[in-house]
Structure 1
């Protein structure tokens, strides 16, 4: 018996053990990346929650030589992964101002060397205990060469003594860094030379390790100081056959890869790139991975969910990727999760509006206001333009009646639809391709729900919609699942799971969205500015959503007028980059532009996880093009300037009566 919600309680790799062999799911895009087949360095990019750390952990020794694995091939001994997440607080002390320029550089390289040697020692321990197909391999008693032993001040004679040596030297380094004037400086090691020498020693003395190399993964590379990043870039620029250095960081958090000399790291020549955020942005692949993650977490929690095609053991091995990408498997796994997290179609939600008295009343009032605008209240009643049997058409009538122009043809078309006298040749204005329903139904539904904020908005409920809100962040998806199961089953113990109601899912989406909005100030050094930016953009899109005419429904992103791009202030450009780094905004190519490099050639999409907080659409359908001066005002100017701008962009006459004051 298990508490269902706890299956998704740990949604950060830092909360998991170093061995993630039973947690890591080989992603669908794995077959497209062969870059780990050579010794070239790799740069791993991705925003918060994209799984950078989990991805790296998969390649490191704790997972590679996991006690859970059987018959491990000696091939993996060619590349032993070492993980390093620098202690940023400690590294921040190793500055020229505190230690002196040369000492700071040597101290950081020494720190990295000790951390990686500790990892190498633990890797040797894991290899000794691993179930290798060619038999045991214990290198702990392997003697070091005199040259390497000298590097360790002759305090280490065999590999197995490295652990104690490193522990002592790390303590010694910490004392000196914190008290440089009172303690003697340690004898510094260089990670770029000592790690390859260790691998070379082991390779010479053990034939099975003849091709041994270490791969050092440096996580959160952006948190290192500029001089420290240069030292790492030196190792990338001048690689060794026995050591490859890989880095992981948030997108755009590091833009200059300068070495200690005048050289810089050049992509393709010096390193390759994996953009996890870009890979996970593929809708179909994210859905499959999210569905597998959902079922895996339930499986690890001991919960039954009845899906015969799902085999957790196949998730962790690349050899089973073809099976997992088959149509049969995808349909079974994704289909099962869709059953457990069901959603309503837009047609079904429109019918729900007809059955929900407050929503139906809001629709009727909306139509009535439109009739009043055209002076038709005495001749046509709003109730006559609402028909439960024609739910979708009735919902969009709310917008159509509030638009300028002659409403007579629209009323005539609706009456023909009600009496089943509509054109059967496919020219019916409501249901033809690109007709009134296609273009307006979602926007009208979002508008109706926005007027009843206490109502659970069913447009956010369901596995597919959870994926749309979360993509490309698996962390957001897990949080949506955690809150959903907590609401649906509370903390009751269960051994199976049943479908969750749409209302609980919609409520969970709202709660998670609110929580993520409140979390924005914690993002980096400019968190408060980022939250104000999110609030203002949300208010802008919310204002468009409140227009009863819905002439341009579902506006939820913006672009910057290309001809006006020079007018962007430095502060606005910096905040846009910060927002992109922390995945508050996503910069996506404008399909009408030929370049995706220029800031003005892009669409700027507010992270969809914020959509429920502002009651706006998560679908990328329409945008507003802003002038540079308007972007400057939204991002950097005072609240009074923004409020004035908002009234200018979304004019009062476009608003529902009585709503303009609520925009601020």
Structure 2
């Protein structure tokens, strides 16, 4: 793709700024990139479903693509589309209006009244969506005369509905306004004629029996942000899920852990598999093909500026198999990797050698380690080999270990530099990143570890919004044009963008209701702990960025479990099956990993390498409003660092907790 002038580059920065679906609108047909998992899920099946996933995984964009505004988009050509097949499934999307729906509670009104009021409001909003969908479709295919169609059965619910289809939407809208006024003045609720949910089926069946083209149509109601509904409101929706059947099927979308209540109004509880199917979007977005999909989305955005069509229509479901061809995937990765070049470990080592301020830091750290050792006859220069730069950097950690002497390190270094067998082959693999982070620590805005397309993919960890924000920030900081007219973003610019994006997203945590302040403090403390562990000079256990819980989740209090689930819901932590451990005390079941997007802010590794163990008491202390426990926690880390003895390092998992 050729972006050959500054104006186009500026337009691209603006386009990438629209990284939330809300910035695009209801019709996302032209902008949508069909997820690579799309054909493995039956979104239009007659079984209710729960679409769950973290922030930024693409739930809202997906729901809008499944809804009538996109499926029957004015930007779509219907020449080669079978109308009857398309009309079998019509998606309508209702996003829970948090601020308004939370008003439908208490204020001197009995909960039973609010229950009826919410059901009434749900009926109105869904009816309006269904009528809008039918009207929209009718304008495209000219199926019926909206001025001559009467749904007589609806007049039994309210005389306002004794009108033509063309006026019916206005009648429901009138009821919406009446209710919203009453909701603001609860004493007027007694004047409202509450509509039952059964009117929805009568509305749809009235259309089906009068308009042949809709005879086999099922309406799929996707309720977005279900987790924002009040408990009694969730019970209403759960009840509809329990009794869903054509012509209207209820389906919801929520964050992970966003559906803790399964009760219905009838006293039953809805059950996974029996009453609904769960589609976990995170399982798909975090797979090995996320790097290809993210690249497709980025190039799709770029194409809107360049006005150059991609080789494959990314919003066409029938093209998925072509997009899975290996040569196509390689082309995508190659293209975006040129936009975001990276530094290899060898490049990072060269950067330390070539920049005086970093090279002097390397020498100072080597001299300091040798002075502690007390072994005479060696200087920092003896451990700096121009033909073994990566190994020289790793010497910073090795010389701080009691388990190895300077002479041993020097001999292994000479062997490595000469091409002979050496322990440095393993030492570099395990310790280079940790040593690099310690050397660059005072100049973290210049940390080139956070550059490169594959790094941006790792930092965003399946969160497309985070990836696009990283890309947008990088473009806004500047780009270069190559001789071939294509542009590229320098590693230094990418690294700065990663840092700024990480800091901005970290500050955003405070807005995560209802525990934002607690979650913000917890992530700050957890990141500080990982940073403190990272700064240990011996680096015997480098790249620590996740933890396991001694005794597993079952050992936690309900309050701590709730806060951990909130961390997972908002994407601050994600959990995986626990890796093998050395601990004889451990019964941990999961590893809890800090979202890599926060790695640049704390100057830690984004790679899932090593972990620490936390006791339930540790977690309670880290979630606590008081700083006392956390301060003693970090003090113990620094105390052990000063002792600098590998046998007493925190990474020794022979103890129940970090320092208990």
Q: With the length of structure 2 as denominator, give the TM-score of the two structures.
A: 0.90
Q: CA deviation at 1:278?
A: 2.2
- Partner in structure 2 of residue 50 of structure 1: 57
Is 1:581 aligned to residue 569 of structure 2?
yes
Q: Aligned match of 2:278 in 273, 284, 292? A: 273
Is 1:246 aligned to residue 236 of structure 2?
no
Q: CA deviation at 1:477?
A: 0.7
- Partner in structure 1 of residue 538 of structure 2: 549
Q: 1:158 to 1:98 in 2, by over 3 A?
A: farther
Is 1:259 aligned to residue 264 of structure 2?
yes
Q: 1:474 to 1:278 in 2, by over 3 A?
A: same
Q: 1:24 to 1:510 in 2, by over 3 A?
A: same
Equivalent residue of 2:249, what SS?
Answer: strand
For the residues of structure 1 that align with 2:166 and 2:580, how far apart are their CA atoms? 61
Q: CA deviation at 1:101?
A: 3.0
Q: Do 1:459 and 1:506's aligned partners in 2 also have CA atoms closer than 8 Å?
A: yes
For the residues of structure 1 that align with 2:643 and 2:26, how far apart are their CA atoms? 54
For the residues of structure 2 that align with 1:394 and 1:196, how far apart are their CA atoms? 74
Query: Pairwise mapping of residues 303-342 of structure 1 onto structure 2 (< 5 A)?
Result: 310-311=310-311, 314-342=313-341
- Partner in structure 1 of residue 93 of structure 2: 83
Q: Do 1:338 and 1:462's aligned partners in 2 also have CA atoms closer than 8 Å?
A: yes
- Partner in structure 2 of residue 405 of structure 1: 403
- Partner in structure 2 of residue 661 of structure 1: none
Is 1:151 aligned to residue 157 of structure 2?
yes
Q: 1:543 to 1:261 in 2, by over 3 A?
A: same
Relative to structure 2, which stretch is displaced further, 144-153 or 529-538? Answer: 144-153
CA RMSD of aligned residues (A): 2.3
Q: Do 2:533 and 2:637's aligned partners in 1 also have CA atoms closer than 8 Å?
A: no
Equivalent residue of 1:314, what SS?
Answer: coil
Equivalent residue of 2:591, what SS?
Answer: strand
Is 1:217 aligned to residue 222 of structure 2?
yes
Q: Do 2:120 and 2:194's aligned partners in 1 also have CA atoms closer than 8 Å?
A: yes
Q: 1:637 to 1:120 in 2, by over 3 A?
A: closer
Is 1:510 aligned to residue 516 of structure 2?
no
- Partner in structure 2 of residue 636 of structure 1: 624
Q: 1:37 to 1:117 in 2, by over 3 A?
A: closer
Is 1:456 aligned to residue 446 of structure 2?
yes
- Partner in structure 2 of residue 443 of structure 1: 434
Q: Do 2:153 and 2:206's aligned partners in 1 also have CA atoms closer than 8 Å?
A: no
For the residues of structure 2 that align with 1:509 and 1:68, how far apart are their CA atoms? 35
- Partner in structure 2 of residue 70 of structure 1: 77
Q: CA deviation at 1:388?
A: 2.3
Q: Do 2:367 and 2:380's aligned partners in 1 also have CA atoms closer than 8 Å?
A: yes
Q: Aligned match of 1:21 in 4, 14, 29? A: 29
Equivalent residue of 1:301, what SS?
Answer: helix
For the residues of structure 2 that align with 1:152 and 1:343, how far apart are their CA atoms? 66
- Partner in structure 2 of residue 660 of structure 1: none
What is the CA deviation profile of residues 339-364 of structure 1, one whole-angstrom value per residue up to 9, with x for unaligned ones? 01111112221122111222222222
Query: Pairwise mapping of residues 388-427 of structure 1 onto structure 2 (< 5 A)?
Result: 388-407=386-405, 408-418=407-417, 420=418, 422-423=419-420, 427=421
Query: Pairwise mapping of residues 91-490 of structure 1 onto structure 2 (< 5 A)?
Result: 91-95=101-105, 97-130=107-140, 136-138=142-144, 140-141=146-147, 143-153=149-159, 155-182=161-188, 184-191=190-197, 193-282=198-287, 284-302=288-306, 310-311=310-311, 314-376=313-375, 378-407=376-405, 408-418=407-417, 420=418, 422-423=419-420, 427-431=421-425, 435-453=426-444, 455-489=445-479
Equivalent residue of 1:254, what SS?
Answer: coil
Is 1:608 aligned to residue 577 of structure 2?
no
Equivalent residue of 1:316, what SS?
Answer: coil
- Partner in structure 2 of residue 659 of structure 1: none
Equivalent residue of 2:478, what SS?
Answer: helix
For the residues of structure 1 that align with 2:626 and 2:511, how far apart are their CA atoms? 22
What is the CA deviation profile of residues 122-168 of structure 1, one whole-angstrom value per residue up to 9, with x for unaligned ones? 212221233x5xxx424634623422332342534332222211221
For the residues of structure 2 that align with 1:247 and 1:559, how far apart are their CA atoms? 32
Q: With the length of structure 1 as denominator, give the TM-score of the two structures.
A: 0.90
What is the CA deviation profile of residues 256-289 of structure 1, one whole-angstrom value per residue up to 9, with x for unaligned ones? 111002211111111111111222111x321111
Q: CA deviation at 1:371?
A: 1.2
Q: CA deviation at 1:87?
A: 2.0
Task: Extract unaligned runs of 5+ from structure 2.
Answer: 1-6, 645-660
Task: Extract unaligned runs of 5+ from structure 1.
Answer: 657-664
For the residues of structure 1 that align with 2:71 and 2:321, how far apart are their CA atoms? 21
For the residues of structure 2 that align with 1:154 and 1:163, how far apart are their CA atoms? 11
Q: Do 1:290 and 1:477's aligned partners in 2 also have CA atoms closer than 8 Å?
A: yes
Q: Do 1:196 and 1:213's aligned partners in 2 also have CA atoms closer than 8 Å?
A: no
Relative to structure 2, which stretch is displaced further, 219-228 or 610-619? Answer: 219-228
Equivalent residue of 1:218, what SS?
Answer: strand
What is the CA deviation profile of residues 17-75 of structure 1, one whole-angstrom value per residue up to 9, with x for unaligned ones? 10000111111111321x32421111011111111111110110100100111124321
Equivalent residue of 1:19, what SS?
Answer: coil
What is the CA deviation profile of residues 363-406 of structure 1, one whole-angstrom value per residue up to 9, with x for unaligned ones? 22121122112213x41111121122211111111111111124
For the residues of structure 2 that align with 1:234 and 1:355, how far apart are their CA atoms? 67
For the residues of structure 2 that align with 1:178 and 1:373, how far apart are their CA atoms? 72
Q: CA deviation at 1:302?
A: 3.0
Equivalent residue of 1:181, what SS?
Answer: helix
- Partner in structure 2 of residue 571 of structure 1: 559
For the residues of structure 2 that align with 1:566 and 1:146, how far apart are their CA atoms? 58
What is the CA deviation profile of residues 394-442 of structure 1, one whole-angstrom value per residue up to 9, with x for unaligned ones? 1111111111124222211112333x2x43xxx42112xxx11111112
For the residues of structure 2 that align with 1:87 and 1:496, how far apart are their CA atoms? 47
Q: Do 1:26 and 1:317's aligned partners in 2 also have CA atoms closer than 8 Å?
A: yes
Q: Do 2:224 and 2:254's aligned partners in 1 also have CA atoms closer than 8 Å?
A: yes
What is the CA deviation profile of residues 220-246 of structure 1, one whole-angstrom value per residue up to 9, with x for unaligned ones? 111111111111111110112100011
Q: Do 2:548 and 2:612's aligned partners in 1 also have CA atoms closer than 8 Å?
A: yes
Equivalent residue of 1:28, what SS?
Answer: coil
Q: Do 1:303 and 1:496's aligned partners in 2 also have CA atoms closer than 8 Å?
A: no
- Partner in structure 1 of residue 68 of structure 2: 61
